[in-house]
Amino acid sequence: MNSSLSTAGLDRRAFFRGSAIAALAIFGSGSLAACSSAVGEQRSGAGESANPVRGGTLTLAIPDDISPSALLTSTTAAGVTLSGLVYETLTRYPLDSVVPQPVLAKDWKLSDDGLTLTLNLRDDVKFHSGRPFTAADAEFSLRTYADPKFSAQLRSTAAAITGFDSSDPHTLVITLAHRTGNIFDLLDLAPIFDSQTFDKAITGESFIGTGPFVFVSRTPNSAISFERNPNYWIVERPYLDRVEARIVPDSQARLTSLKSGQVALVSPASLTFRDSQTLAKTGGFETTSIDGAELQIYLGANVTADGLTDIRTRKALAYAIDRDRIMTEVYRDTGYAVNLPWPKSSPAYDAAKNSTYTRDVAKARGLVSEVGALPTISLTYTGASPDFEAAAQIVQANLAEAGITVELDPVEATVFFKQLIGAEFKGLWLTNHTFAQYVPSTLTVSAYPFNAAHNASKFSSPAYSAAAEAAWQVPDGSSDAAKKLYADLGTQLLDELFLIEIGVVVPQVSAASTVRDLAWTKGRQPQFANTFLA
C-alpha cells in the first residue's frame, strides 16, 4: 500500500544521486578536485638510478617512540634510530668481528700492562650546534655513561675507568682500574654527547651529536624528523636530505605501510619473521639479514625453584627441547640452534660444544625418572609477543614428552621486566638476550641473565665468577688467551645450565628495493651516511 504512495517532490533516483553527492562532499571532493594525491606524495622522489644519488627523504617505520629519560638505557627501536643517526661513538666494530675501527677516535694505543688507553681524536668534527668536538666531550660522555642513574648497559665497564686526561683537546687518555677486555665494547656503544646540551637531551628538548643527521623535530607518538648534517666530517655524506621516522606501533600496520609505499623501510626485527620472509619473495621489496647483530632466545631457570634445583632436571630440559623446530617454525630458519650464547661471528663460538645437548627425549626421560616426581613447573614469557608465545608452546609440548609438566604463564612486558630484575620467576622463563655478538666476556659481566654477581636464576658459584672475571680481564678480547678462557666459561655454562640456550636469531630488515646501501651496527643502530634512494 505504502509503495503506491506518491513521492512527488523527489524521486528515488534523485535521492540517491543527492546522497552520493553528500558522501562525496565529505570525503571525495578534495581528492577528486585536487591535483595532489597523498599516495603520490609518499612515493615521489624515487628515481631508478643504481649509482649513489644525492637527495630525497627516507621514510622509516619504527614500533615505538623515544624515551628521553632512558636515553642511555634504551634498546628500543626509536632509541637506537636516534642514536645511530644523530650520535657517533669513538670506535666501532664491523658486523663480522670485534676488531675496533676508527670513528671519532683516529687511532689508539693500549699500554703494555693493559691499564692505560690513549685515544687520538679527530680534529675536524663539529657538533650539530657548530661547536668543535673535543676530548672533554668524550670524557663527559663516558662519565655520564658510568652514572648509575642512567642505568646504561655496559655501566660496569665504564665504571672500571678510574682516570681521565683530556687536557689535550684531541687526545683522551683513560686509566682502568684493572685490565678490561671489553673496553672497546664500551667505546662502540657509548654515544658522544655535547656536554653543553646533554640536560636538554634527557628531557627530550634537543639531541645534539656529531652524526650524519641532525635532529629536527619530534611529534610524540607520531614522528621524528632528521635532516642532513651539512657539516658532516665525511665529505659529501650523507646522500639523503632527510630521514622521517614514523611511529607505527602495530606490526600489521608497519607491514601495510611498507607494502603501500607509505614508508620505504621498517626497522630491523619489527615485522614478524613470516612477514619478512614473504616480503623477500615479493617484487619491489627486499629483506636482508643483519649478521653480526644477533639476538639469542633462551630458557632461564630459577635454580632455587622446586623441581629445578637438581641439575639432572635442568639437563633433562636441555635434552628435551626441540631447538631446530623452534628455529624453523617460529624464526623461519633465520638463525640456528645453539647450546652456548655466542653466535658464529664471535671468538667464543664453538661448534663442538654447541652439540652437547641435542634433542634426545629418551635421555631426558631417563634423567627425569632418576630425579623422581617433579612438580608442575611455571614457564613465564611476554604474552604480547607472538614469537615467544609460539616458542613457549613448543617448549611445553617438548617437556611434556619428557615427562615434565609445564604451566604457561604469559605476563605483560613491564611485569616480565620486574620479575627479571627482581629474580622473581617462579620456575622457568623464556625470552631473548643480546650482547653475545660483542666481546664474549661482556655477556658475563654486563648482560643481566649471565651476570656472575647477580642474575635472575639466583645462580652463583665461585668457579663461574672466577671464570667470568678472568675472561673479562684479558686485555685483548679476541686473542688466543681470551679464547681459552671463553672455553672455560662455556664449560661452566653447559655444566650448570642455569640458562638453556635455544638459538641465535639473526634480525631481518625489510625495505623497498629503491633503498640502497643500508648499514647497521652490531647494536642494530642505523648507519645511513652512504644510504641513497635509487
Rounded CA-CA distance 355/26 in Å is 65
- Binding to other proteins by CB under 8 A, coded x per residue (else -) over 396-415, reads ----------------xxxx
Q: Judged by CB under 8 A, which of 102, 261, 366, 383 binds other proteins?
A: 261
Does the protein bind other proteins through residue 10 (CB under 8 A)? yes
CA distance to 273, 283, 375, 387, per residue, from 280 (Å)? 11, 8, 45, 19
Does the protein bind other proteins through residue 281 (CB under 8 A)? no
Q: Minimum distance between the CB of residue 449 and other proteins, rounded to whole angstroms?
A: 8
Q: Which residue carries 657539516 as its cell? A: 231
Beta carbon nearer to other proteins, 319 or 435: 435
Beta carbon nearer to other proteins, 76 or 393: 76
Buried b (16+ CB within 10 A) or exposed e, 190-221: bbbbbbebbeebbeeebbbbbbbbbbeebeee
Rounded CA-CA distance 455/447 in Å is 9
Report strand pairing: 285-289 vs 91-92: unpaired
Q: Judged by CB under 8 A, which of 56, 65, 208, 238 binds other proteins?
A: 65
Does the protein bind other proteins through residue 382 (CB under 8 A)? no
Tell me the torsion sign for CA atoms 97, 98, 99, 100: positive
Q: Minimum distance between the CB of residue 106 and other proteins, rounded to whole angstroms?
A: 31
Find out whether 33 and 503 touch, Cβ atoms under 8 Å.
Answer: no
CA distance to 64, 214, 276, 330, per residue, from 224 (Å)? 11, 11, 24, 32
CA distance to 77, 258, 509, per residue, from 62 (Å)? 6, 11, 12
Rounded CA-CA distance 416/425 in Å is 9
CA distance to 37, 255, 359, 507, per residue, from 277 (Å)? 31, 12, 27, 12
Q: Minimum distance between the CB of residue 410 and other proteins, rounded to whole angstroms?
A: 13
Rounded CA-CA distance 430/505 in Å is 14
Does the protein bind other proteins through residue 74 (CB under 8 A)? yes
Length of the chain: 534
Piece of 24-32, 136-144, 185-193, 322-330 that binds other proteins (CB under 8 A): 24-32
Beta carbon nearer to other proteins, 420 or 474: 420
Q: Minimum distance between the CB of residue 219 and other proteins, rounded to whole angstroms?
A: 7
Q: Minimum distance between the CB of residue 444 and other proteins, rounded to whole angstroms?
A: 13
Q: How many residues bind other proteins, per CB under 8 A? A: 80
Does the protein bind other proteins through residue 252 (CB under 8 A)? yes
Beta carbon nearer to other proteins, 27 or 480: 27
Beta carbon nearer to other proteins, 75 or 513: 75
Q: Minimum distance between the CB of residue 41 and other proteins, rounded to whole angstroms?
A: 7
Q: Minimum distance between the CB of residue 413 and other proteins, rounded to whole angstroms?
A: 7
Please, which of residues 412-431 interact with other proteins by CB under 8 A? Answer: 412-415, 417-418, 420-422
Closest alpha carbon to 524 in 348, 215, 203, 288? 288
Piece of 90-98, 121-129, 256-264, 331-339 that binds other proteins (CB under 8 A): 256-264
Rounded CA-CA distance 477/185 in Å is 10
SS3 (DSSP) at 14: helix
Please, which of residues 189-218 interact with other proteins by CB under 8 A? Answer: 203-204
Q: Judged by CB under 8 A, which of 164, 198, 336, 448 binds other proteins?
A: 448
Does the protein bind other proteins through residue 282 (CB under 8 A)? no
Q: Judged by CB under 8 A, which of 126, 246, 274, 325 binds other proteins?
A: 246
Q: Minimum distance between the CB of residue 485 and other proteins, rounded to whole angstroms?
A: 22
Burial (CB count <10 Å: 0-12, 13-18, 19+), residue 301: buried
Q: Judged by CB under 8 A, which of 250, 333, 401, 495 binds other proteins?
A: 250
Please, which of residues 124-153 interact with other proteins by CB under 8 A? Answer: 148-153
Q: Minimum distance between the CB of residue 363 and other proteins, rounded to whole angstroms?
A: 33
Instruction: Concatenate the DSSP letters of all residues of 256-282 into one string.
Output: HHHHTTS-SEE-TT-S-HHHHHHHHTS
Please, which of residues 29-58 interact with other proteins by CB under 8 A? Answer: 29-31, 33-34, 36-39, 41-42
Beta carbon nearer to other proteins, 227 or 488: 227
H-run or E-run covering 162: strand 161-165
Does the protein bind other proteins through residue 524 (CB under 8 A)? no
Residue 308 cell numbers, joined? 629445578
Residue 35 cell numbers, joined? 591535483
Q: What pairs with residue 213 in β-bridges?
A: 228
Does the protein bind other proteins through residue 67 (CB under 8 A)? yes
Q: Judged by CB under 8 A, which of 101, 129, 196, 222 binds other proteins?
A: 222
